[in-house]
Amino acid sequence: MKITVVGATGLVGREILNVLEEFQVPFDEIYFTASEQSVGKPLTFKNQNYTIKSLNEVINLKPNIAIFSAGSSVSLEYAPKFKEIGCYVVDNSSAWRMHEDVPLVVPEINFDSIKKNDFIIANPNCSTIQLVMVLNPIYHRYGLKRMVVSTYQAVTGTGKNAVEQLMGERQNLPNIKKVYPYPIDLNCIPQCDVFLENDYTKEEMKIVNETRKILDNQSLRITSTAVRVPVIGGHSESVNLELEKSFSVSDIKEILYQTPGVIVLDNPSEKEYPMPILAHGKNEVFVGRIRRDESIDNGLNLWIVADNLRKGAATNAVQIAMRLQEKFL
């Protein structure tokens, strides 16, 4: 069993290493790649020293599973090359998510959509993963007429430079490299990624399109607004659902209590509800503020929080890799 992590030195890459160790993923050999500037440099994993290799070196070593976290351009160029040698690719970028013949997978929901010859598997967007983890059991029990999602997304979703901008502004450092068009500290920026022709951002349309694909329903009515906030450790989402069937809030809570990978944290009288500071470093998705929307029939409000580097990226990818080991390798 040979595993490789592509992009091992980035924020998500380092988190993948943490999750691989935490989950005790079995392997005989493991290889790490990063940018060309990093090739030959040391990397420590599970108290052992490794040397970062180039992508072509790793291809020649013929790994069984490659977990990609190196951006769309790298994935588009190299994922097919890994596929050619019979290596399963779990890709964290957006490069393959909307390809018809590439499964878009959250293991708890639709792992069975992966067939043995599907050598490229897409990891969904971080905000989509935490959303569908909570939405899926409700959708299948009660149906869904319409959904409105507002996200409050941590700077880690943009990368290391965004974290440095936030902390630099907070410390009033000079000559801060700007990732965002405005200050992010003490501010909210209603733009995640670039704007499209319909005046939605790419991030907002990812939520719409990826949710439809994962739930296998292209007619779902979804609208989204994505906001960048000065938070390090997790994305939050305010979700408003209009369900097709009547429900009781207690039944909704019970369904979510029984959902693997979801933790219900909902006790308003004791000020207990999900927050990024509680989700940071955790693999689960947290949901709370579960309450009826009294303005419409069958309306439901939810507050969903997860660590975007964990279940939103690294954890989900490693879970896919482990299931691939069990099923196909």
Flag whether pLDDT at 94 surpasses 90: yes
- Assigned fold of 2-124+313-328: Rossmann fold (3.40.50)
Query: Is residue 195 a contact partner of residue 189, using CB atoms and an 8 Å limit?
Result: no
Q: What is the mean pLDDT of residues 268-280?
A: 97
Q: What pLDDT, on a 0 to 100 scale, did the predictor assign at position 5? A: 98
Query: Is residue 105 a contact partner of residue 96, using CB atoms and an 8 Å limit?
Result: no
pLDDT tens readout for residues 108-126: 999 999 999 999 999 999 9
Residues 6+ apart with CB under 8 A from 84: none
Q: What pLDDT, on a 0 to 100 scale, did the predictor assign at position 233? A: 85
* Distance in angstroms (rounded) separating the CA atoms of residues 317 and 329: 16
Q: What pLDDT, on a 0 to 100 scale, did the predictor assign at position 137? A: 98
Helices marked H in the chain: 11-22, 55-60, 72-84, 107-110, 126-142, 160-170, 202-214, 249-257, 276-279, 315-328
Domain boundaries for CATH 3.40.50.720 within the chain: 2-124+313-328
Bridge partners (DSSP) listed for residue 286 = 263, 305
Longest dimension (CA), the chain: 61
* Distance in angstroms (rounded) separating the CA atoms of residues 161 and 292: 40
Q: What is the mean pLDDT of residues 191-206?
A: 98
Nearest to 224 by CA among 156, 143, 131, 300: 131
Is the CATH code 3.30.360.10 the one for domain 127-308?
A: yes
* Distance in angstroms (rounded) separating the CA atoms of residues 125 and 317: 11
Catalytic positions are: 126, 235
Percent of the chain exceeding pLDDT 70 equals: 100
Residues 6+ apart with CB under 8 A from 86: 62, 64, 119
* Distance in angstroms (rounded) separating the CA atoms of residues 91 and 65: 11
Q: What pLDDT, on a 0 to 100 scale, did the predictor assign at position 314? A: 98
Domain boundaries for CATH 3.30.360.10 within the chain: 127-308
pLDDT tens readout for residues 10-26: 999 999 999 999 999 99
pLDDT tens readout for residues 208-248: 999 999 999 999 999 999 999 999 989 999 999 999 999 99
Phi, psi of 294 (to 5 degrees): -80, 0
State the residue for tokens 């408003």: 240
Does this model's pTM top 0.85? yes
Q: What is the mean pLDDT of residues 66-85?
A: 97
CA dihedral 308, 309, 312, 316 (to 10 degrees): -160
Give the helix/strand (H/E) hosting 268: none
pLDDT tens readout for residues 249-265: 999 999 999 999 999 99
Q: What pLDDT, on a 0 to 100 scale, did the predictor assign at position 124? A: 98
pLDDT tens readout for residues 131-188: 999 999 999 999 999 999 999 999 999 999 999 999 999 999 999 999 999 999 999 9
Tokens read off for 71? 């951006």
Query: What value does the mean pLDDT of the chain take?
Result: 97
